[in-house]
Amino acid sequence: MNTLGSCIFCSAAGPFDRDEHPIPESLGNDDQVLPRGLVCDGCNQYFGVKIENPVLSSPPFSIERTAAAVRTKKGRLSSHVDKRVRFFSSRYWDKVIFAADDASQLPIIERPDGSGLLIVAPPPKYDELVGRFLLKMGIELLATSTTDVRSSSFDSARQYARFGRCNQKWEVAYGLYPDRKDLLVEKREDEIGPLETRQIYRYEMGGMADGRIIFCFMFINHVFATCLSDDRLGSYTEEFNRINGFSLVSNLKK
């Protein structure tokens, strides 16, 4: 178990000189920073390079960040680049600049209305990286509450997030919120013209009747859920699907 003043992931006594954003700056979080003394510089650097960078540079995050004109940590506009296709920000919501060397070779699914869906596949074992990414965010956000995040209840989650140690595949559920228009929070006009405020991300944390603590994270209209106190979601996915108008699918069912 960690002791007070030690890193909540690796138990190191420091140093704690780096700012730690529980939700990455590259997802639009430019103000929420953890108090010093929770995440050491070594874990801060590890998560940034080994977890956040590959997750955020792959779809769906890379494409959605580009479409929403979310800037990177260095202040640059986001983009998605792989061997077949490239997306660049137009600076307008849901409008991107698209480029491909050979568009005829792209995996496009034609729809009845004559338009098409471009399928951009994530890299191998991406769901494992996403699971560790979610646990990192969830544990850090939990540390801002009254919950004792250093409790042994979260040891499995912190070990998997930081070191990838897990006896079995950690469960992550994923779904798409169907109505992107609901992301429009406010619309107004000033002397420049119309201004719109849209939701980029949100999260929820809650306890289940069986004691599991669930972390649900939504980026644009992509919804992810995992458990912070167990490697299984238990009845959460079933209950979520029962009360919502769309479904989450577990990575264990792929």
pLDDT of residue 3: 45
pLDDT tens-digit map of 145-159: 999 999 999 999 999
Which has more pLDDT, 118 or 20?
A: 20
For the purposes of burial, counting CB atoms within 10 Å of the CB of 141, is it exposed (0-12), middle (13-18) or buried (19 or more)? buried
Q: What is the pLDDT of residue 42?
A: 97
**Residue 147, token pair as written in the block:** 């919950």
- Secondary structure, 3-state, 70-91: CECCCCCECEEECCCEEEEEEE
Task: Look up the pTM and report it.
Answer: 0.90
Distance of alpha carbon 84 from alpha carbon 99, whole angstroms: 9
Q: What pLDDT, on the 0 to 100 scale, is given for residue 43? A: 97
Distance of CA 193 to the CA centre of its chain: 32
Segment 55-113, tens digit of pLDDT: 999 999 999 999 999 998 888 999 998 888 889 999 988 899 988 888 777 777 676 76
In the predicted structure, residue 236 carries a pLDDT above the cut 90:
yes
Interval 117-126 mean pLDDT: 77
Residue 80 identity: H
Residues of the chain above pLDDT 90, percent = 67
DSSP 3-state assignment of 112? coil
pLDDT of residue 254: 62
pLDDT at 207 over 70: yes
Q: Is 7 exposed, middle or buried (0-12, 13-18, 19+ CB in 10 A)?
A: buried
Q: What is the mean pLDDT of residues 115-132?
A: 82
What was the pLDDT predicted at 49? 96
Tell me the pLDDT of the chain averaged across its residues. 89
pLDDT band at 2 (very low <50, low <70, confident <90, very high): very low
Contact 51, 132 (CB under 8 A): yes
